[in-house]
């Protein structure tokens, strides 16, 4: 079974939306197999989003991700990576399909409530960034 790394971002934790977002994941058949609330430093957010370091929004993105606690989680299920991204909706909430997390909750293209890994390689690396083997059963 596939696993993916999900983050409930600061705009969503601040508005107390963790349970509502988790319900969407569970309703789609994804199982939350690990989950914790942490507060990233700007540096830790920068390492996580290193692939975007040349993009104009990188500094703003890192500051946002460090602004409030986040909930990091591992979701498991058949085709979990694609399924999670389907439940998340498009990056820009204006383009997100009705019923998706971003359509319902995201505030802007930057403050868009959730992150999800985009491929098996990034999922493995991102899970290992946040969780130890002992935390994954
Ligand atoms: P994520 O990687 O967070 O799951 P994504 O894969 O849909 O989202 P990416 O293109 O990987 O989108 O961008 C990573 C994150 O950077 C976005 O989720 C968003 O928070 C931020 N971002 C992307 N584009 C912009 C933009 N034009 N302006 C501001 N922030 C942006
Ligand atoms: Mg991405």
Angle between helices 80-88 and 18-27 (to 10 degrees): 130
Is 15 assigned a ligand-binding role in the annotation? no
Which pLDDT belongs to residue 11? 98
Handedness of CA 60, 64, 3, 132 (dihedral sign): positive
- Distance, C-alpha 48 to centroid of its chain: 11
Which residue out of 73, 115, 126, 131 is catalytically annotated? 115
Ligand 1 midpoint to CA 114 (Å)? 10
pLDDT given at position 58:
98
Distance 134 CA to ligand 1 centre (A): 30
* Cβ of 90 less than 6 Å from ligand 1: no
- 91 CB within 6 A, ligand 1: yes
Whole-number Å distance between alpha carbons of 108 and 65:
14
- Measured from the Cβ of residue 73, the count of other Cβ atoms closer than 10 Å reads 25
Spatial separation of the C-alpha atoms in residues 101 and 113, rounded to whole Å: 8
Give pLDDT, residue 69: 98
Q: Is the ipTM above a cut-off of 0.90? A: yes
52 catalytic per annotation: no
pLDDT at res. 9: 98
Whether residue 129 has its Cβ less than 6 Å from ligand 1: no
The predicted-structure confidence for 35-48, as pLDDT tens digits, reads as follows: 999 999 999 999 99
10 lines ligand 1 (CB under 6 A): no
Q: 4-23: per-residue pLDDT in tens? A: 999 999 999 999 999 999 99
The residue ranges of the chain whose pLDDT is under 70 are: none
pLDDT at 12: 98
What pLDDT score was predicted for residue 17? 98
CA of 110 to the centre of ligand 1 (A): 6
Name residue, tokens 């409530």.
Answer: 113
């Amino acid at each position: 079974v596939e696993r993916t790394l999900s983050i409930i971002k600061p705009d969503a934790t601040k508005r107390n939306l963790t349970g509502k977002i988790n319900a969407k994941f569970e309703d789609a058949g994804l199982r939350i197999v690990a989950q914790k609330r942490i507060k990233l430093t700007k540096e830790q957010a920068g390492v996580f989003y290193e692939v975007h370091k040349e993009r104009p929004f990188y500094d703003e993105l890192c500051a946002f991700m460090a602004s409030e606690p986040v909930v990091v989680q591992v979701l498991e299920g058949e085709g979990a990576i694609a399924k999670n991204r389907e439940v998340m909706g498009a990056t820009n909430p204006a383009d997100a399909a009705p019923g998706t997390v971003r359509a319902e909750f995201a505030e802007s293209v930057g403050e868009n409530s959730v992150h999800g890994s985009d491929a098996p390689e990034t999922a493995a690396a991102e899970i290992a960034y946040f969780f130890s083997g002992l935390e994954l059963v």
